[in-house]
Amino acid sequence: MAEEKNEHSGFKVVDRRSFTSEGSPRDDSAVETRKAEPPPTERASRPQNVLIPESDFADEPSGFETLVSFLSTTTMFQLGLIAGPGGERIPPDMVNAQRTIDLLSVLQDKTKGNLTSDESRLLDDVLYELRMTFVELQKRQARKGK
């Protein structure tokens, strides 16, 4: 391979394959190098206003508490209690909120006896709060509908 020069590149790519492009074994002393353009970063194309910044997940290990937190936050968003990405008010989506609460309930049933006391208490508390909020919002919608 011939060496390509690119003045705009910020890094160098070294070809360390043990065979040449023709398929013959490469001499250890001859290492081909070429410069390449850095690939566009994925982060640059992402919107700036996201619900949960990536940096919040960097320090936090993914575990049971994270899963419960994610599902409860999703439910609150579906209930219209959390503003949308641009700060706009999102109308409640009661059907999907009920489904997410049901998922948490399935999680509770399937993990019974396998959780620490703190994990079990967290799930119980979250489910209680979400169910009470769901019922309250249903009552409000029923009053408005009459």
| Buried b or exposed e, range 5-19, using 16+ CB within 10 angstroms | eeeeeeeeeeeeeee
0.75 exceeded by pTM:
no
End-to-end CA distance of the chain: 78
Q: For residue 51, is pLDDT > 50? A: no
Tokens standing for residue 87: 């700060």
pLDDT of residue 45: 44
- Which tens digit of pLDDT belongs to each residue from 3-21? 555 555 566 666 666 767 6
Q: For residue 43, is pLDDT > 50? A: no
Distance separating alpha carbons of residues 135 and 119, to the nearest angstrom: 24
- Which tens digit of pLDDT belongs to each residue from 70-128? 999 999 999 999 988 888 888 999 999 999 999 999 999 999 999 999 999 999 999 99
- For 34, other C-beta atoms within 10 Å of its C-beta total 15
